[in-house]
Structures are given as C-alpha cells and as structure tokens.
Amino acid sequence: MNTRQRQPQAAVPGAGDYLIASKKCELMNLQYFLQMGQLVQCISNLVHSLQRERGASNVLLGSGGCKFHHQRQQIVAESDRLRREFEQALTAIHQQMTVHPVSSRLLNQIASALHGLADLAELRGAVDRQTISAHDATESYSSRIHRLIAVVFEAADTAVDPGIAGLLVALVHLMNGKELCGQERAVGSAGFSSGRVDSALSRRMVHLVEAQERCFEVFASFADEDSRALWQQVRSHSREAEIGRLRGLGCSSGRVRQLDPQLADRWFAVMTERMDELKRVEDALEGCFHARCIERYTEARHSLSHQETLVASLDQQGGARQPVLILCESGDEATGQPGDAWASDGVGQRFGRSIFDLVQQQSRRLQAMSDELQAAKEALEDRKIQEKAVLLLMEHRRIDNDEAHRLLRKLAMNQGKKLPEVARALLAMADVLG
C-alpha cells in the first residue's frame, strides 16, 4: 500500500508545490496590477486632455468660432499624443490581460472605450465646421470620457489585493468627481454665456454639485494620506470660495435670472483651474498606487522566495524520510505488521506539521485579505446599484438621468436612509413588482 502511494506522489505536485503555486499566483496578480497602473495613468491623462478639448470646443462653438481656435488645436494634438500612449499601454498589457480568465468585462469595456475614440475625428470635424451644438458636443465628449473611466472601474473590480483595490476605488471616484466638475463647468458656461439661468439649468447644477461631493467622499475614505492632504489643499484654496459664489448665482432655483455674461469667462477659468488641481490629486494618487504595487510586489517576492527555501528544506527532510520508510516496509513484509516505525520516528510528523503551518498561515492571510477587500468591493457595488436604480427610474417614470438621481436622493432623505440602501430596496421591489 505504501509503495503504491509513494509513486504517484513523486510524479504529481504535493502540498508544498501548491503552497508555492498559491504564492506565485498572488505575485502574478501584483505584476499584472503594476502594468495596469500604467494603463490607468494613461487613461487619467487622456481623460484630462479630452475634458480640456471638450471645454475648448464648447467655448469655440459658443463664440461662433472666434475664441480658443488655436488653443483647441494644441489640445487636440495633445489628446492624440495621449491617445497613442494609451494604446501603447494597452499593447503592453494585452497579453497578460487576455489570459486573465475573469477579465471579460474589462476587455469589453476597453472595446467600448476604443470604439469611442475611433470616431473622435468625426466629432472634431463637426466642431471645426460648427455643424454641432455645444450641448451635443458636450454629450459626445462626455460619453467617450465616461467609457474610459469605466475601464478603471472594471480594473478596480478585478483587484484582489485590498490595498490596491482601495486605491483604485479612490481613483475611480476622484475621476468621476472631476468629470462631474467638468460637466458642471460646461453647464455653468452655457448658462452664464447666455446671460440667464432657468430652473432646469439650476437643478442640473445642484445635481452635479451634490454628485461630485458624494464621489469625493468615497475618494477621501479610500485614498492615501498624501493625496487626501493635497485634496484638502484644493478644498481650502481661495478659488473654492469664488466657485461657491458663482455656483450660488447659477444654482438659485425657481425663476429665470439675468446674469452678467462676463461671468462666463471667469467661471470657465476658475473651474478649469479646479480641474487642473484635481488632476494633480489624481497624479499623486496614481503615484501612490504605483508605489504600493511595487511595495506589495517586493513583499510578495520575498515571501515567495522565503517559502521556497522553507519548502525545499522540508522536502529534503522528506527526502531523508524515504529510506526510513523503505526500511519499515521491508520489515513490514517480514513481520506482516505494516509501517510500525513510521509514526514513531516522528520525521513524517515533523515534516507534516511544518508544511501544514505554512499552509494554515497562507490560508489565514488570504482570508484576512479577502475580508479587507470587502469594503472596496462594497463601494464599487454601491455605485453599480445606484446606477441601476437610476436607470430603472428613468425607464419606469420616463424621466432623465438628473431627475432620477434627484428622486433617489429624495427617497433616501424621506426615509432617513443612505442612498445605496434605498437603491437596493428599489431594485428589490422592482423584482417583485415585475
């Protein structure tokens, strides 16, 4: 019996090999996220440039082609350069990403983002020829930007290391907040330039301000200390007070108000400054992400080589065990008593204990990581649930995105509950009500 058992064991990997494989698996995943960090940085840069391009296009269209003509061309060239960088980063990670068996959602989101970029030339042509309204151009750019940010969301969703997942959650919320800020700039610009703010426009601004705040809250709860400190600096800058005043003019609801169209330039300038500052926070966060990936990768590498040494030394002890075993077995045949010395020599047990300790340790570590990951996953899940609830409301009540968001907020306020909770309840009800 023992003889039969030992042979396959020599041929197939044992407990120690699978422990090492488990560690290697973690290492591989960290390596993947190191490269993913580059892709995310490229997306962040490209999004920022597209936001600038959207702003410049808006001003160009709003001024009947007079303003920002030259600046816009420079920004377009910059967007193209950053787009090529994004595509290069994609190529660099392509192989790793396509053998990752759980990234179908990520890959499809990349397809969607690339598709958005493929007909950018059409959109730009329409802006050049002024055959598109500022509103439609804004929508067009926003949808492309949204698809790029969604790639970061999916990347965050595939992370298994809690530290890495947390920073990606912070980043995706910061990117979303900044994008809402960009939309607020566009909406405000349109209002200020026209010299009048109606209630629909002011409602939209209120929504964009509130949605931004919620994104920044999630960002702050997952970001590293340095990025959070930088974010506090942005918040306490005197520019924010001016933005607050201008927002007050734009957001005061109810009737139509007449405004000084000169405010439009000032609004555009301060909001652009704000977005540039937010980009600096984003860069700091990405720097921290990169550093953390390297740190975790180095740790995991050390831990792996340490374990490899341990397992190898235990294997040698295991190897030394073999002759003892054979001795027992030959004695065995003679006496008919199988493997008497087996348990008493203790080597087997000592060997077993140590490997098992390592396996248990790895098991506890993986469990702790998975517990810690929970918070990051929940933040992503909350976001998904809210978006679904908003879509549901839009369809059922035939209202637009803003109104749906407002309705959801109102429900939460009335019930004294948090937004994700209400969103979840709403979706559950929809399942029941059909």
Show contacts with a second copy in window 112-141 (CB under 8 A): 112, 114-115, 118-122, 124-126, 128-129
Q: Looking only at residues 190 through 219 of this chain, which bind a second copy when binding is defined by CB under 8 A?
A: none
Beta bridge partners of 197: 257
Amino acid at 67: K
Report the DSSP pairing between strands 196-197 and 257-258.
antiparallel
**Residue 241 or residue 343: which is nearer to a second copy going by CB?**
343
CB of 114 to a second copy, least distance (A): 4
CB of 302 to a second copy, least distance (A): 16
- Residue span binding a second copy (CB under 8 A) among the ranges 107-115, 182-190, 230-238, 272-280: 107-115
For residue 380, CA distances in Å to 38, 137, 255, 386, 429 come to 21, 29, 38, 10, 22
C-alpha span between 140 and 157 (Å, rounded): 26
* Inter-residue contact 245 to 196 (CB < 8 Å): no
CB of 5 to a second copy, least distance (A): 6
* Inter-residue contact 29 to 164 (CB < 8 Å): no
Greatest alpha-carbon pair distance for the chain in Å reads 107
For residue 65, CA distances in Å to 81, 125, 261 come to 24, 13, 18
What does the per-residue mask of binding to a second copy show for 357-376, with x meaning CB under 8 A? --xx-xx--x---x------
What does the per-residue mask of binding to a second copy show for 66-95, with x meaning CB under 8 A? ----------xx--x--xx--xx-xx--x-
CB of 141 to a second copy, least distance (A): 16
**Does residue 29 interact with a second copy by CB under 8 A?**
yes
Query: Which of 35, 67, 78, 105 forms a contact with a second copy (CB under 8 A)?
Result: 105
CB of 135 to a second copy, least distance (A): 18
What does the per-residue mask of binding to a second copy show for 319-358, with x meaning CB under 8 A? ------------------xxxx-xx----xx--x--xx--
DSSP state, 256?
Answer: -
CB of 43 to a second copy, least distance (A): 14
Which pair of tokens denotes residue 59?
Answer: 């001003």
- Please work out the total of residues on this chain that contact a second copy, with binding judged by CB under 8 A: 80
DSSP state, 255?
Answer: S
Helix (H) or strand (E) holding 134: helix 134-158
Query: Which of 64, 101, 323, 416 forms a contact with a second copy (CB under 8 A)?
Result: 101
Q: Write the CB contacts of 426 (distance below 8 Å, at least 6 apart in sequence).
A: 389, 392, 393, 408, 411
C-alpha span between 288 and 296 (Å, rounded): 12
CB of 419 to a second copy, least distance (A): 20
- Residue span binding a second copy (CB under 8 A) among the ranges 37-45, 64-72, 96-104, 241-249: 96-104
Which pair of tokens denotes residue 307?
Answer: 């374990």
